[in-house]
Chain A
Amino acid sequence: MQLAPSKLRRRLEDDRDEHNELRMDMIHTESYFNFVKMHLLSHFSDHIRQCGNIPIYSTEFGELAHKGQIKDGWRGVNNQEVERQILHSYGRLYAIRMRLLHLNSLRRRGANLGDDILGYLDKTPSTVSTPAPCGMILKCRRDDVSDVLDFCKVLGISLDRIGLELIRYSRHNLPTERRLPE
């Protein structure tokens, strides 16, 4: 049967619409939100009532410990009984920091501590906000360093000092033709 072009077009469009509707229907009936993450959320409230805030239970710390505990720990050991050494050193570091915090708070309350302890506390910098050593800061790429000024801020070194060091470096370490005049 021959149809006029306009009619044919209309019929084709009808067909396509129908087909699209069918597709949407199918997608709607076949898709679902039935996965476990949807459900796990509902336990958050109960958990807070029982055990306090959620962020402290996140696996994020565990994933971070891959670097802080294991990788940095690995650098400090001598390849003998590695697991035991890593666990020991990590635990020891934290025990020492906790002890220092404890002593500091005792001191603030005016507890009677021995002279040697007081002397030691004076010598060690505050454990609460230990600044990361400069090498550590530079080891990873940072987003907030775009020029020398930012660089100084991050490292906590004055601009003059950095300038002097740069000049000194360029005088000694660059190839002869690129060296600064003395």
Chain B
Amino acid sequence: MQNAALEGVNIDSHDGKVRRCFPILSAWIADYIETVALRGIKANVCPKCEVLPGELRTEANSHRARDYARYEPCERESASDDSRTMFETLGIDLEKNVFHGLQRLSAPGLHKPDLLHTLHLGLFRHLMDWILGLLKKHARLQAFDDTWKALLPYLGFFVPKKAYCEVTQWQGKEMRNPRRCLLGVLTVTLRQPDSRQVTPFKHALDYVRTLVNFNMMAQYRNNTPETIAYRQEYINRFHRMKDIFLEFRVSKRTRAKVDKQ
């Protein structure tokens, strides 16, 4: 790899000619856990920029891109306190990652957004969990399942055979399906709220709409400044409104602590 990038190799081109190519590594498509291992960073740390571990939830997007070369001179054993605290705050585990020493490499650029794990199986799954929490709290779970199962077939849309809770494992392809109908189903489920439910239901619907819109827009194969602006707006709203689901994002530890009380 190193030699190929510096001196070039002859590669057969599809038009029948042989060309001198200088291959460089420009992308490494991996899910988050694999990225963490490759990069020698800690879990729950952004591989692209130096966002502090406590600020992942904020919408701020002005952090400096990670400069992996900067970490390399800091040897772990002989590390001064300064560099050790830097490692600690920036979430670095290894000072030299797998890509150390490769030529013409943009290290932060290697990480590519991963729709499957970040959105389809990631946030969307979380969202479904939160929604179920909300429905359970307001005793609408049965209505949700009934609506879910009553969906009619439509072009390019597979009718779900089971209620949402009955499916134990979701594939990316299957997860794309509920995404299309979720908003409608939820609107039907949350109809006729009583006086205390009006606001939370409205907010929840708004929130779901934002994420679904964002999700759909992320799929666009062509993008204009306009669509990017839309997406940014969705993400800002998404962050602004997330608190409606906060009470359903309870970790096991918190749950245990609350129960003990």
Contacts and interface: CB of A to CB of B under 8 A. Distances in A.
B258 A39 contact: no
A143 interface: yes
A141 B212 CA distance: 29
Interface in A153-179: none
Contacts of A99: 14, 16
Contacts of B231: 44-45
B25 interface: no
A4 interface: no
A98 interface: yes
Nearest to A47: B113
A58 B221 CA distance: 12
Given A42-B235, A57-B29, A59-B31, A48 B112 contact: no
B242 A34 contact: no
Interface range on chain B: under 10, 10 to 19, 20 to 34, or 35 or more? 35 or more
A32 interface: yes
Contacts of A57: 27, 29, 112-115
A37 B123 CA distance: 7
Size range of the interface on A?
A: 35 or more
A27 to B, nearest CB: 5
B21 interface: no
Contacts of A51: 27, 109, 112
A22 interface: yes
A43 B221 contact: no
Interface stretch (B51-59, B77-85, B140-148): B51-59
Residue among B43, B55, B113, B222 facing the most chain A CB atoms (10 A cut-off): B113
A28 interface: yes
Nearest to B123: A37
Interface string A51-76: 11111011111110000000000000
B172 A30 contact: no
B218 interface: yes
Contacts, number: 147
Contacts of B258: 23, 26-27, 30
B40 to A, nearest CB: 16
Nearest to B117: A59
Given A98-B14, A102-B14, A58 B116 contact: yes
Contacts of B116: 58-60, 63
Interface string B89-128: 0000000000000000000010011111111001100100
B246 to A, nearest CB: 5
Interface string B205-229: 0000000001000111111000010
A35 B254 contact: no
A70 B45 CA distance: 32
B76 to A, nearest CB: 24
B204 interface: no
A55 B221 contact: yes
Interface of B: 12, 14-16, 27, 29-32, 43-46, 48-49, 51, 53-57, 59-61, 109, 112-119, 122-123, 126, 158, 172, 214, 218-223, 228, 231-232, 235, 238-239, 242, 246-247, 249-251, 253-254, 257-258, 261
16 contacts: A22-B261, A31-B246, A31-B254, A36-B32, A37-B118, A38-B56, A38-B239, A43-B113, A44-B235, A48-B223, A55-B221, A57-B112, A60-B115, A61-B29, A95-B12, A95-B14
